[in-house]
């Protein structure tokens, strides 16, 4: 599980924690590609947008800009953008699975499964 305390909007953090954990669990098993890299960036951005102000303070300290975000955007706009980004990332992962799931009970032909049970197979 992801364990970092947000500085604002703890309710968003608690609500989305299971979604982020599912995103990370899915992306770890995927092969490296441009699509998976984009999904990693989107999930990191969604995680930061929900109330973590330290990246913005670091950019202010080292690059000279970024303080405007915690002062004006962190309270209202960024958590909503983080929620939308998380939902869209989860939707993309659900629409485009990274690997095919093979179910054990469908891996054998129907005749091989039906006969040991004493049920005649299809004619």
Q: What is the mean pLDDT of residues 100-107?
A: 52
What pLDDT sits at residue 14?
A: 80
pLDDT at position 89 is 94
Dump pLDDT digits (tens) for 4-41: 556 666 777 788 888 989 999 999 988 889 989 999 99
Is residue 34 assigned to a domain?
Answer: yes
- Which residue bears the tokens 């951005």? 45
If one counts the domains in the chain, the total is: 1
Identify whether 99 is part of a domain: yes
Residue 46 lies in a domain: yes
pLDDT at residue 1, as a whole number: 44
Domain assignment of residue 60, yes or no: yes
Has residue 2 been placed in a domain?
no
The per-residue b/e assignment along 43-71, b for 16 or more CB within 10 angstroms, e otherwise, is bebbbbbbbbbeebeeeeeeeeebeebbe
User: Is there a domain that residue 123 lies in?
Assistant: no
Encode pLDDT of 69-86 as tens digits.
777 777 677 888 888 999
Whether residue 73 is contained in a domain is answered as: yes
């Amino acid at each position: 599980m992801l364990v970092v305390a947000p500085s604002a909007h703890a309710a968003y953090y608690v609500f989305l924690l299971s979604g982020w954990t599912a995103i990370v669990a899915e992306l770890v098993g995927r092969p490296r590609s441009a699509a998976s890299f984009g999904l990693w960036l989107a999930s990191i951005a969604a995680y930061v947008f929900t109330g973590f102000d330290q990246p913005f303070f670091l950019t202010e300290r080292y690059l000279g800009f970024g303080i405007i975000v915690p002062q004006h955007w962190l309270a209202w706009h960024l958590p909503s953008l983080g929620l939308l980004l998380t939902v869209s990332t989860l939707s993309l992962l659900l629409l485009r699975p990274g690997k095919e799931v093979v179910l054990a009970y469908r891996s054998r032909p129907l005749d091989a499964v039906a006969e040991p049970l004493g049920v005649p197979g299809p004619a």
